[in-house]
Amino acid sequence: MSRFRPTFFIPLIAFLGLVMIGGLALQGTLSGSRNPNQLPSVLIGKPAPDVPLPLLQNNQAELALDAYRGQPLLVNFFASWCAPCRAEAPALEHLSKQISIIGIAYKDRPQDTRKFLQQYGNPFVAIGRDDDGRAGMAWGVYGVPETYLIAPSGQIKWRHAGPLTRDVITTQLLAKLAEMQ
Amino acid sequence: MGLTEFGHFALISAFVLSLIQSLVPLVGTVRHNMQLMLVGPAAAISAAVACVIAFGALVTSFIRSDFSVALVANHSHSAKPLIYKISGTWGNHEGSLLLWILILVIYGAVLALSGRTMPTLLKARILAVQGMISSGFLAFSLFTSNPFTRLANAPIDGKGLNPILQDPGLAIHPPMLYLGYVGLSIAFAFAVAGLIGGDVDRLWAKWMRPWIMAAWCALTLGIALGSWWAYYELGWGGWWFWDPVENASLMPWLAATALLHSAIVVEKRGQLKSWTVLLAILAFSLSLVGTFIVRSGLLTSVHSFASDPARGVFILGILLVAVGIPLLLYAWRGPQLMRVADFNLKSREGALIANNMLLVVATAIVLLGTFYPLGLEMITGARITVGPPYFDATFNPVMGILVVIMVIGPVMAWRRGTTPRTKTTLLAASVSAIIAGIIGGAMVQDIAIGAVGAIMLIAWLAMGIAADIWIQLKPLQRGGLAARWHRLPTEVLGMWIAHFGIVVFLLGATGDGLFRSEQVVRIKPGEVVTIAGRDVTLVRVFERQGPNFQALTAELEYKDAASGKFIARLMPEKRVYTAERQTTTEAAIRPRLGGDDYAVLGDGDDRIGYSLRLYYKPLISWIWGGGALMAAGGLVAMIGRRRRSAVTAPLPDNVARDTA
Amino acid sequence: MIRSGLYILLIGVFVMGSARLIPPLISTANAITAEEMLADPLLENRARNLSQKLRCLVCQNQSIDDSDADLAKDLRREVRAQLVQGKTDEAILSDLRAKYGDFVLLAPPLAKNTMALWLAPIGFLLLGIAITLGVRRRASATAPSPISQAERAQIEALKQQHKTARTCDQP
């Protein structure tokens, strides 16, 4: 009674393929190498966008990233109304000793930004104001906080969306910094 | 011992009973031992009783706001209205899983109690397969998602429920959907049992059909409910988003619809057996894939429960075993079910094959669109979105072709050729379609060609059904209209109602899609806006206190623009739920057969005015009305069959069955 | 006659699918506020169509047209700003793609890595048709031929003889 028809195996094979995708994705999520809530930046490897922004301290002067060429640089988008930004403040404080950090106040009011910096510390060498979010859009910012690592050449090397935790710093940021040396 | 512990114990008992249900009857079938086989129904019924106790215990904890139970503490709140405390039981992963299991074992118990004409051997195998599925899910619940865990220190009050879930529509939507998803497990069990025993025949199909029907009706209603809920709750008037979890419910529905139709061919003609078996396996497999999507945390969606990838691994394991083994069985035993096709392609069978082919292609498209982003991310790391524009371009045309076939199929003869009805029906339908197309094109300015196509399809289907009804009810020499009506099988009536439901659905979708009106304004109290022949006055905006929220409410007065007559008062609002600190927008809707008035309040104040979005959506409720009609048609067909088959006496086990 | 009617309908159906390529008749502005809308109705219509093609990045599967999120509002404003500058639809979509990636488009672009996605549906359909016709080939060996005129006359005669209202049609 044995009729053997290879076509009857197609559903099984297709199903196993689907399971494999699901399994790989699960494994990635469990190991942390993929996070469905994190969007990878498409600007990695491209030069940092040059959108003119007024400084927080002085409306008339502009934030110039060129001034910081020749050294690795962190650009951190933050806001006073952003809760995780408060959580990452100590981490930024710590990092500021190793690397220059530029802050960009994203859709914030200057007086609120200043109050935030007073309360949580100011790790930034310079602070720009992106009041309407257009500069953020040029960087591909979709929420705060977001942190970009810029190489001495001016290229974006790494982007992290969400607060910088010790884990992220030690496993990703420091590794990228080491590469640049 | 507290109620919770008792419930936990009941759940463990259910697990043990399910294991017994999986193994003992199967041993009985191998050894031809009637006693062992009869353990199947007994175990199924006992397991169901145990699950009812377990579920009852959980619901009681929610009603009593027993915050020592971790689940209640995390998902409920003493200030919640009673009905939402109850529905909160399944508003979370663990509770909804328990509901899933409850429905699964109840289906098994009903099968155990009914089906008196079924041979004990077949029934034993079916219940064994059912038992395996319930064992798997009970294990999943007990080992990874136990709803009965206690907290060492009970909090004073719970963390509340997502305010969006505090809603009557959403209370009913999961149970209805599960009735559908889980009901397909019976058809699945029939298929696997048939593969094991090789006894897939016309009687097998006859016994299976009511179960497919019941599951399909429930699934239709569940999806319609979900869509309707999204429309009135989410505040932007959409009703389908091609969200991964929505797709997860659509895929089993498409497969179940195909199964419904192919089972007809098996029952009437003994053909398409191996194909029907495959479909039955696939339909429930898609339900399981849906479960995987929702609970594994792989795809982000508005529907996902707080997801845990570790649980995803367990479900993947269940999926692998529950689907992989039957598909392997199918690859091995399926070919033996094949029969030489004794029909012409140009026949009823041919049309039903076309129906199946199109539905399966549609299912494949939805599956591809849903999983492609994940697959691509695995291979290249790139992230893309597959959203509504993709599905509109690929899925809709396939469904359109299906609508064309829907008129042709019922008027074809079995085995070969056309019937006298065919020519007349197709002629009437074609003429209507062309006329409708011309009228549509002339009446609406700048109409898109695709919209004309949609109108033509609706006319084609509507006239096709009407012509079929008219010809069959035409009075003949013998007997009048009433006699003819009574002689028609109820299943035919069911088919007409269900197919007509699709006409109604298409009218709703097209009516709203093509003829919608909107006004987006910022106005101050006292100002008037005109939309769709109505003058809308913003009377005032005020604050009000609800049972567990604070709201900003707008009072809108609708008057007829021509006569000034008062039409209605609509009160859209924005709510802030205190416990969860969440804001929701409550759209004000005035649903009428002709169309809905839909108003949404945005932000603002008396000084700069309030942002208001007003819509008039013609015929939009026909979308869900159509869905309800489809389910009603299925119900009619199901009842009709039961009346007919009540006449059949039970078949003794040793009588050879028709194995055609 | 019937066949031609069917062909006309099938053409209509296929064209219905291509309607997606043409801007919809009435598009919805679902989360937009009055002050966001542009004065020029043609530009505004283009803006809404574009908005319905762009995904709100912080929402689940919503377009920026439908979403109330702040980022959606910003993106809507950006789209309109670029339209007023005179950019084409493709240029605006490209620009946002360059900043946010393909993820921001609700319909995946036709590229090497999405070729399978776009071609597969047609492939499925053709495969389905081929398999269905394959049934015919298997069936033709034993299938009965269509009812001939003579046979039909015989059937009518028999029906008259027995004067029964039942036809051979089963549901």
What Å distances lie between residue A33 and B11, B545, C104, CA to CA?
A: 37, 46, 22
Provide the pairing of β-strand B588-591 with B582-586. Answer: unpaired
Q: Where are the domains of chain B?
A: 1-166, 167-179+194-404, 405-515, 517-618
Q: Cβ A25–B297 below 8 Å, yes or no? A: no
Q: Each residue of B47-71: pLDDT tens digit?
A: 999 999 999 999 999 999 889 899 9
Q: Cβ A134–C78 below 8 Å, yes or no? A: yes
Tell me which of C6, C61, C149, C159 to substitute to probe the interface with B (most B C-beta atoms closer than 10 Å): C61
Tell me, what's the pLDDT at B227?
92
Residue of B nearest to C30 (CA): B236
Q: Each residue of B316-333: pLDDT tens digit?
A: 899 999 999 999 999 999
Chain B residue numbers touching C53 (CB-CB < 8 A): 389
**C-alpha span between C148 and C88 (Å, rounded):** 62
Residues of chain A with pLDDT under 50: 1
* Residue B560 phi, psi (nearest 5): -70, 130
Contact B547, B128 (CB under 8 A): no
Report residue B431's pLDDT band, with 50, 70 and 90 as the boundaries.
very high
Provide the pairing of β-strand B595-605 with B549-560. Answer: unpaired
Q: What amino acid is encoded at B251 in this protein?
A: M
Question: Residue ranges of the alpha helices (H) in chain A?
Answer: 10-31, 83-95, 110-120, 134-139, 166-168, 174-180
Q: What angle do CA B444, B614, C38 make, to 5 degrees?
A: 75
Residue of A nearest to C55 (CA): A142
Contact B522, C35 (CB under 8 A): yes
Tell me which of B361, B468, B612, B641 to substitute to probe the interface with C (most C C-beta atoms closer than 10 Å): B361
Contact C51, C63 (CB under 8 A): yes
The first and second tokens of residue C50, run together, are 């574009």
Chain C residue numbers touching A51 (CB-CB < 8 A): none
Minimum distance, in Å, between the CA of residue C118 and any CA atom of chain B: 8
Q: Cβ C58–A143 below 8 Å, yes or no? A: yes
What does the buried/exposed string (b/e) look like for B78-105 if buried means 16 or more CB atoms within 10 Å of the residue's CB? ebbeeebbbbbbbbbbbbbbbbbbbbbb
Question: Residue ranges of the alpha helices (H) in B488-580?
Answer: 490-515
For chain A, the farthest-separated pair of C-alpha atoms sits apart, in whole angstroms, at 89
**C-alpha span between B86 and B71 (Å, rounded):** 13
DSSP conformation letters of B98-128: HHHHHHHHHHHHHHHHS-TTS-HHHHHHHHH
Q: Cβ A11–B327 below 8 Å, yes or no? A: yes
The first and second tokens of residue B215, run together, are 């599951």
**Taking each helix axis from N to C terminus, what angle separates B93-113 and B120-144, rounded to the nearest 10 degrees?**
170
* HSE-CB of A55 using CA atoms within 13 angstroms: 12
DSSP H/E element including B31: helix B3-31
**C-alpha span between A179 and A95 (Å, rounded):** 17
Q: Each residue of B499-540: pLDDT tens digit?
A: 999 999 999 998 888 888 988 899 999 999 999 999 999 999
Mean pLDDT over B128-137 rounds to 96
> Of A139, A105, A108, whose CA–CA distance to A122 is shortest?
A105
**C-alpha span between B619 and B505 (Å, rounded):** 9
Provide the pairing of β-strand A100-106 with A73-78. Answer: parallel
Tell me, what's the pLDDT at B108?
96
Mean pLDDT over C113-117 rounds to 92
> Of B353, B291, B351, whose CA–CA distance to B323 is shortest?
B291
Q: Each residue of B402-414: pLDDT tens digit?
A: 999 999 999 998 8
The first and second tokens of residue B410, run together, are 């019922």
Q: Which residues of A touch B (CB under 8 A)?
A: 1, 3-5, 8-9, 11-12, 15-16, 18-19, 21-26, 28-30, 34, 36-37, 39-40
CB neighbours of B46 closer than 8 A, spacing ≥ 6?
B17
Q: Each residue of C62-104: pLDDT tens digit?
A: 889 888 888 999 999 999 999 999 999 999 999 999 999 999 9
Q: What amino acid is encoded at B147 in this protein?
A: P
Domains annotated for chain A, with CATH where assigned, are: 53-63+70-180 (3.40.30.10)
Q: Cβ A143–C71 below 8 Å, yes or no? A: yes
Minimum distance, in Å, between the CA of residue C100 and any CA atom of chain A: 5
Of residues A15, A30, A39, nearest to B309 (C-beta): A30
Mean pLDDT over B80-93 rounds to 88
Domains annotated for chain C, with CATH where assigned, are: 27-107 (1.10.8.640)
Q: Which chains touch B (3 or more CB pairs under 8 A)?
A: A, C
Chain B residue numbers touching A16 (CB-CB < 8 A): 324
Report residue C37's pLDDT band, with 50, 70 and 90 as the boundaries.
confident
Of residues A8, A16, A22, nearest to B298 (C-beta): A22
Residue B100 has pLDDT above 60, yes or no: yes
The first and second tokens of residue A17, run together, are 């393929």
Report residue B161's pLDDT band, with 50, 70 and 90 as the boundaries.
low
The first and second tokens of residue B431, run together, are 């003429």
Chain B residue numbers touching C10 (CB-CB < 8 A): 401, 404
The first and second tokens of residue A163, run together, are 């607060």
Of residues A39, A107, A137, nearest to C78 (C-beta): A137
The first and second tokens of residue B225, run together, are 């409910």
Report residue B310's pLDDT band, with 50, 70 and 90 as the boundaries.
confident
Mean pLDDT over B629-634 rounds to 95
**C-alpha span between B341 and C143 (Å, rounded):** 7
The first and second tokens of residue B618, run together, are 């013609």
Burial class (CB in 10 A: 0-12, 13-18, 19+), C97: middle
Contact B356, B275 (CB under 8 A): yes
Residue B306 has pLDDT above 70, yes or no: no
**C-alpha span between B643 and C166 (Å, rounded):** 20
ipTM of the complex: 0.86
**C-alpha span between C146 and C143 (Å, rounded):** 9
Chain A residue numbers touching C70 (CB-CB < 8 A): 107, 133
Burial class (CB in 10 A: 0-12, 13-18, 19+), B380: exposed
Tell me, what's the pLDDT at B597?
92
Of residues A11, A30, A34, nearest to B377 (C-beta): A34
Top-confidence residue, C24 or B156: B156
CB neighbours of B171 closer than 8 A, spacing ≥ 6?
B83, B84, B86, B87
**Taking each helix axis from N to C terminus, what angle separates B388-408 and C115-140, rounded to the nearest 10 degrees?**
20
Tell me, what's the pLDDT at C24?
31
Q: Which chains touch A (3 or more CB pairs under 8 A)?
A: B, C
Tell me, what's the pLDDT at B477?
53
Of residues A42, A138, A142, nearest to C58 (C-beta): A142
Residue C141 has pLDDT above 60, yes or no: no
Q: Cβ B320–A19 below 8 Å, yes or no? A: yes
Residue B650 has pLDDT above 60, yes or no: no
CB neighbours of A14 closer than 8 A, spacing ≥ 6?
none
Tell me which of C64, C73, C74 to substitute to probe the interface with A (most A C-beta atoms closer than 10 Å): C74
Tell me, what's the pLDDT at B60?
94
Contact C41, C83 (CB under 8 A): no
Residue C1 has pLDDT above 50, yes or no: no
Contact B618, B511 (CB under 8 A): yes
**C-alpha span between B633 and B369 (Å, rounded):** 30
What's the per-residue H, E or C state across A102-129?
EEEEECCCHHHHHHHHHHHCCCCCEEEE
Q: Helix (H, G, I), strand (E, B), or coil: what is residue C94?
A: helix
The first and second tokens of residue B392, run together, are 């509109």
- Cβ atoms within 10 Å of B642's Cβ, excluding its own: 10
Q: Helix (H, G, I), strand (E, B), or coil: what is residue B659?
A: coil
Contact B432, B470 (CB under 8 A): no
Provide the pairing of β-strand B588-591 with B595-605. Answer: antiparallel
Report the predicted TM-score, pTM, of the whole model to 2 decimal places. Answer: 0.88
Measured in whole angstroms, how far is the alpha carbon of residue B221 from the centre of its chain?
6
Q: What amino acid is encoded at B349 in this protein?
A: E
**C-alpha span between B557 and B566 (Å, rounded):** 8
CB neighbours of B262 closer than 8 A, spacing ≥ 6?
B272, B275, B276, B279, B352, B356
> Of B422, B280, B260, whose CA–CA distance to B352 is shortest?
B260
Tell me, what's the pLDDT at B187?
96
Q: What angle do CA A73, A77, A78 make, to 5 degrees?
A: 130
**C-alpha span between C64 and C75 (Å, rounded):** 7
Tell me, what's the pLDDT at C29?
42
> What is the rounded end-to-end Cα distance, in angstroms, of chain A?
71
- Cβ atoms within 10 Å of C134's Cβ, excluding its own: 10
Q: Each residue of B198-235: pLDDT tens digit?
A: 889 889 999 999 999 999 999 999 999 999 988 888 77
Minimum distance, in Å, between the CA of residue C101 and any CA atom of chain A: 6
Q: Cβ B378–A30 below 8 Å, yes or no? A: no
Question: Residue ranges of the alpha helices (H) in B381-475?
Answer: 388-408, 420-443, 449-473
Chain B residue numbers touching C7 (CB-CB < 8 A): none
The first and second tokens of residue B70, run together, are 């971790």
- Cβ atoms within 10 Å of B52's Cβ, excluding its own: 16
Residue C168 has pLDDT above 70, yes or no: no
Q: Each residue of B1-30: pLDDT tens digit?
A: 588 899 999 999 999 999 999 999 999 999
Report residue C25's pLDDT band, with 50, 70 and 90 as the boundaries.
very low
Minimum distance, in Å, between the CA of residue C141 and any CA atom of chain B: 9
Report residue C21's pLDDT band, with 50, 70 and 90 as the boundaries.
very low
Chain B residue numbers touching A26 (CB-CB < 8 A): 296, 298, 309, 312-313, 316
